[in-house]
Structure 1
Amino acid sequence: MADVPGMPPTGQLLVGLARLGQAVRMEAWRNAGPHHLSPLQADIILLLQGRAGALRQGEIVTALASTPPTVSDAVKALRKKELLDASRDPGDARAMLLGLTPAGREEAARLHVQSERLGDAVAALAPDDFAAMLRGMTTLMRELQDRRAIPVSQMCLTCRFYVPRAHRDPERPHHCNFVDAPFGDAELRVTCPDHEPA
């Protein structure tokens, strides 16, 4: 395919991923809700909702691959909207722990409702294409995490409970030791509350 004009296949894939990212971001702006959340503010709420306890602001910066000033501005806005609580860290009085208020938990529940537009687009994928896409995405994420290009996600590929290709069943080759069950590529998790680093 050396004589095909235009960008090489790798470039085509990267442009496609960027366009998909734009679609997700645009949908986040459309879903600003009653608190007029920016996509980063929504990301912070969902991150805190997915964690067992409060987080330091620096942990949020790392988890969302953002910058301290950008996260600081978003946190200030969320506190002003009464969606975040801040308390002193008992281990370090200089640090603040951030958690969701009851209104913040309500907003997190609203944000968890999937976009119909994006959900319908994903539902249009054939089951094999969906599984291949999820497998490919988790593999790319793992590679980027290993290169420290993105923060480590709580996904199967980085979890101590994940055993790849543990079963002969091609539909459900992997095993999760946490739930003690086999599963397939279409069930790979990009984020999981039961994740423990491998």
Structure 2
Amino acid sequence: METPTVPKSLPLRIHEGLERVATALRADDWVSARAAGVNPTQFAIMAVLEGRAMGMSVRDIALQLGVSQPSATDSIAALERKGYLIRSPAPQDRRSVRIMLTDHGQASLTAAHATRSVAERAARSLDARQQEDLLVSLVTMIRHLQETGVIPVQRMCVSCRYFRPYAHADAAQPHHCSFVDAAFGQHELRVDCREHETADPSYRAATWAEFQKDQPLNPPGL
């Protein structure tokens, strides 16, 4: 078959590239899940609960992972039997239940994380500027997915009420986190922060507009 003279659209080729990366990540997840003695869905549930001191509802876990609530319930029950998770009444509503990671579950998760290396090795093949540009691109794509309702709001800097973009003149550390009251650089943007508190939609839109103002312009044709 001859190579097409007109290539596929750039967004489609990016989609294809992300699929290839996702294939490697899924293989990595299987390795990590086996190390923790669970399957990939159960491992994903443990990972999404990591750092959430108040736990999560079954519904929110299912939404975060894009699985059905019955599927999440079955996996949670299996993890409870292993001693990795516990159920606890919600502080504000004793009729509601929160799912929480146990110390045993955290220890197993931490040990399993040590086996994950495929994506990190691939990222290290990029130089520092390329890594930073990729991080910003990923944050932009994730934000689009969450703001269009495809995925729930993620614990990223750009969706947090503590984020102050370009609050400082220092090009190396232009942003500010009000939670820790400290400046930080573009390469330090978080995709999943434990101290994250979701900002309201109007604040998220305003900070994103400010964040975008000082981003490098796209080259012609993109």
Question: If the length of structure 2 is used for normalisation, what is the TM-score?
Answer: 0.79
CA offsets, 1:117-151, max 9 Å, x none?
Answer: 33222111111000000001101111111100111
Give the superposition deviation at 1:31.
1.6
One-letter identity of the residue aligned with 1:77: A
Matched residues in 2 for 1:137 and 1:34: separation? 28
Measured after TM superposition, the shift of residue 97 of structure 1 is 2.4
Structure 1, unaligned runs of 5 or more: none
Looking at structure 2, the residues matched to 54 and 120 of structure 1 have their Cα atoms a distance apart, in angstroms, of 31
Q: CA deviation at 1:34?
A: 4.5
The 5 Å alignment of 1:178-193 reads 178-193=179-194
Q: 1:45 maps to which residue? A: 46
For 2:144 and 2:166, how far apart are their aligned partners in 1?
19
C-alpha distance in 1, partners of 2:84/2:187? 34
**Map of 1:65 onto structure 2:** 66
Residue type at the aligned position of 1:76:
A
CA distance in 2, matches of 1:34, 1:25: 14
The letter for the 1-side match of 2:77 is K
CA distance change for structure 1 residues 4 and 68 in 2, over 3 Å: closer, same or farther?
Answer: same
Q: Which residue of 1 aligns with 2:151?
A: 150
Q: Does structure 1 retain, via aligned residues, the 8 Å contact 2:36–2:112? A: no
Partner of residue 167, structure 1: 168
* More divergent stretch after superposition (38-47 vs 123-132): 38-47
Q: Matches of 1:75 and 1:176 in 2, distance apart?
A: 34
Measure how far apart 1:100 and its partner are.
Answer: 2.1
Aligned twin of 1:21: 22
- State the alpha-carbon separation in 1 of the partners of residues 195 and 55 from structure 2: 17
Deviation at 1:4, TM superposition (A): 4.7
2:31 corresponds to: 30
Q: Distance in 1 between matches of 2:116 and 2:104?
A: 21
Amino acid at match of 2:118: R
Deviates more, 1:38-47 or 1:148-157: 38-47
Specify whether residues 98 and 14 from structure 1 end up closer, same or farther in structure 2 by C-alpha distance, changes over 3 A only: same
Would you say the 8 A contact 2:54–2:100 is kept in 1?
yes
Q: Structure 1 residues 164-173 or 150-159, which shifts more?
A: 164-173
**1:187 Cα deviation after fit:** 0.9
Q: Determine if contact 1:65/1:151 at 8 Å carries over to the other structure.
A: no
Shift of 1:116: 3.0
User: Which structure has the highest strand share of the two?
Assistant: 1
Q: Counterpart in 2 of 1:6?
A: 7
Question: Percent of pairs identical after alignment?
Answer: 33
Map residues 88-99 of structure 1 onto 2, 5 A cutoff: 88-89=89-90, 91-93=93-95, 95-99=96-100
Offset, 1:35: 4.3
SS of 1:31's equivalent?
A: helix
Structure 2 residue runs without a partner (length 5+): 200-222
CA distance in 2, matches of 1:111, 1:30: 8
Alignment check: 8 A CA contact 1:35 1:81 kept: no
Name the structure 1 match of 2:75.
74
Q: Distance in 1 between matches of 2:136 and 2:36?
A: 35
Q: In the aligned structure 2, how far is the partner of 1:29 from the partner of 1:4?
A: 39
Cα deviation, residue 92, structure 1: 4.5
